[in-house]
Amino acid sequence: MLTPTWEQFSAVFAASGDKQAQAVRKALLQQYGECDNDPAASSADNYVDAIIANDGYLLDYKEGTFSIIEWLEEKLGDTFTADFDDDYETVKVRFGDRVLVLSHHSMGTDGFEQDLAKLERLMKDRYLFLYRRPEAGVVNDTEEWLLVPTEHWLRAIQRYGQAQVSTYFRHGANKESQWDARYHFKTRIFLWLLLPVIVVFSLYVVWGTLKGDTPPPPQPKGCENVDRAYSDQSEQVAAIMKYQMRKKLGCDSR
């Protein structure tokens, strides 16, 4: 079984001056010929590179669920087995006495994230998938994954704090993929820019409708008879006399 020990995993988050953590980092880096005389060789970032190379998996953007399952077979040995169907469309995986059937989903899809959560439950929550956080603003074609015992992850959070642990790793089944992040960013842009315009336009339409439905104010007594008066006069004279009558009665100027 190739998963990091607690000493190896905790050395990622320990302070740079921690002598025990320095020794653990140096030992693993020397194993990969990364240390030499480089004074920064035992730094946390270089050390995480070595852990991923030793225990992790580089998941290409073209890969997905089935690649993770094959990796688990390699990591967990007889404890975890997988039987793919002849068409390589579904796989039946076993962990102890538990069985799960999955289809393939590519990295970055909701189905892939759901498959990770299902696999963790299948393994009775003994192990977690960790996703190495990329540098800010960097979008890679590969993602770096690590399988660790759940107790290591919870112990690290308790000892070093969520903020320190999340600087390097996130729980993979709960992470937001780079594709999801782009979608959410575009959604926020839509809400910030277009939604206010839609709201203002809707209010304008509603106001116009209400204004159009508002009945005219009641007219003073006698105004309703003005249009029928002076029918015996010429059109020009009648218009002048009607105007004067409306003004006297206080009618509107229709």
Q: What is the pTM of this model?
A: 0.62
26 has a pLDDT exceeding 60:
yes
- DSSP characters for 164-203? HHHTTEEEGGGPPPHHHHHHHHHHHHHHHHHHHHHHHHHH
In tens, the pLDDT along 191-237 reads: 566 667 777 767 777 777 766 655 666 767 667 776 777 667 777 76
Q: Which of 171, 165, 189 is nearest to 113 (CA)?
A: 171
On whether the CB atoms of residues 147 and 129 are closer than 8 A, the answer is yes
Query: How big is the chain, counted in residues?
Result: 254
Are the beta carbons of 35 and 29 closer than 8 angstroms? yes
Q: What band does 251 get if pLDDT is binned at 50, 70 and 90? A: confident
Report the mean per-residue pLDDT for the chain.
Answer: 80
pLDDT score, position 33 = 65
Residues in CB range of 2: below 8 A, 6 or more apart = 54, 55, 74, 75
Residue 183 binned pLDDT confidence (cut-offs 50, 70, 90): very low
Cα 249 from Cα 88, distance rounded (Å): 92
| C-beta atoms surrounding 184 within 10 Å | 11
What is the C-alpha separation between 149 and 153, in angstroms, rounded?
7
Tokens 């206010």 — which residue?
A: 196
Enumerate the domain spans of the chain: 222-254
Q: What is the pLDDT of residues 154-181, one digit of tens each?
A: 999 999 999 999 999 998 765 544 444 4
- Structure tokens given for 14: 């320990």
> What gap in Å lies between CA 44 and CA 36, rounded to an integer?
16
Q: Element (H or E) spanning 74, and its range?
A: helix 65-76
Give Dmax (Cα) for the chain: 117
